[in-house]
């Protein structure tokens, strides 16, 4: 849902509260947002940090990272389609050893899993 920015009602309109007008609830929400931002910052590489450090809320940071790494729904669907295609047409490449083939297969399966597509063991082992 995002952060709740402390506001007050003035003449029927919502306006931002001044810092000296914050109550305990406002401070609690701001503290939770600061903690969430800190947790996100600790998990980021320097380049990822640069993408989100200027955003005001942990929610905004999370949303930016989601779009960056998962993409929009359209991008996600395109990735899924490409990976399913790679999975369905998967074969051992010429001059490829078993270890490399298995690693390549696992890369496809793990990428699909990360996008919410999970195959059962029965589906993974198919007849030639």
pLDDT band of residue 1 (cuts 50, 70, 90) is low
Structure tokens at 25: 């609830």
pLDDT at 98: 96
Helix (H) / strand (E) containing 14: strand 13-16
Average pLDDT in the 93-103 region?
96
pLDDT at 89: 94
pLDDT digits (tens, 9 = 90+) for 10-21: 999 989 899 999
* Between residues 25 and 126, the one the model is more confident about: 25
pLDDT digits (tens, 9 = 90+) for 99-125: 999 999 999 999 999 888 888 877 777
Residue 84: partners with Cβ closer than 8 Å, 6 or more residues away = 112, 117
pLDDT at 125: 76
pLDDT at 126: 64
Q: What does the domain layout of the chain look like in residue ranges? A: 7-70, 73-124
pLDDT at 3: 63
Distance between CA atoms of residues 76 and 24, nearest Å = 41
pLDDT digits (tens, 9 = 90+) for 6-57: 889 999 998 989 999 999 999 998 999 999 999 999 999 999 999 999 998 8
pLDDT at 127: 45
Distance between CA atoms of residues 105 and 84, nearest Å = 12
CB atoms within 10 A of CB 87: 18
């Amino acid at each position: 849902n995002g952060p709740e920015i402390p506001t007050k009602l003035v003449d029927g309109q919502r306006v931002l509260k001044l810092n000296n007008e914050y109550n305990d609830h406002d401070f609690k929400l701001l503290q939770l947002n600061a903690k969430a931002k800190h947790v996100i910052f600790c998990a980021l590489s320097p380049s990822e940090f640069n993408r989100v450090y200027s955003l005001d809320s942990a929610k905004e940071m999370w949303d930016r990272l989601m779009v960056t790494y998962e993409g929009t729904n359209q991008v996600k669907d395109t990735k899924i389609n490409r990976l399913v295609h790679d999975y369905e047409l998967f074969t051992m490449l010429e001059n490829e050893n078993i270890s490399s083939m298995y690693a390549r297969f696992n890369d496809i399966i793990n990428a699909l899993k990360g996008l919410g597509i999970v195959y059962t063991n029965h589906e993974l082992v198919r007849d030639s």
